[in-house]
Amino acid sequence: MEEEYNLFGKCPFVTAQKIIAGKWTIVILHNLSTKTLRFGELQRLLPELKQATLTKQLRSLEEYGLVNRKVFPQVPPKVEYSLTDIGKEFKLVLDSISIWGEKYIDHIKSAEVSES
């Protein structure tokens, strides 16, 4: 994972974009920002997201160091996901995205009204 892209690790925007790229990363991080979750809980929170995809995205976030994966060696298995320190710091970005997203949605709606 280390040392692969020219601007990765140089430009904060390129770096962030690369990490966020996954289709569900933001939503996953948002859910984990509230509290630690088990795999199954995450899955239930994101019904549209298939198991295999969720696994991939979590692995990706783990490799990037945003997410902790804690395996409990027991039967039935139990795996908990939580944010690392640097992952928690991402919450500020999530907050601003949330705020902007709301504004944007309002903006779209009012535009639709005046159109029709």
Partner DNA sequence: CTGCATCCTTTGAGATACTG
Partner DNA sequence: CAGTATCTCAAAGGATGCAG
Task: State the residues that interact with DNA by CB under 7 A.
Answer: 21-24, 38-41, 43, 48-53, 55-59, 69, 71, 76-79
The residue among 18 and 91 lying less far from DNA, judged by its C-beta, is: 18
Burial label for 26, CB within 10 Å (0-12, 13-18, 19+), is: middle
Which H or E run includes 81? strand 78-83
Site for its own copies in 55-114 (CB under 8 A): 65, 86, 89-90, 92-105, 107-109, 111-112
Report the alpha-carbon distance of residue 100 to residue 108 in Å, rounded.
12
Among its own copies, DNA, none, the one that 34 touches (CB under a kind-dependent 5 to 8 A) is none
Q: How far is the CB of 31 from DNA (least distance, A)?
A: 14
Site for its own copies in 15-34 (CB under 8 A): 15-17, 19-21, 23-27, 30
Q: How far is the CB of 69 from DNA (least distance, A)?
A: 6
Phi, psi values for residue 56, rounded to 5°: -60, -50
Report the alpha-carbon distance of residue 88 to residue 34 in Å, rounded.
10
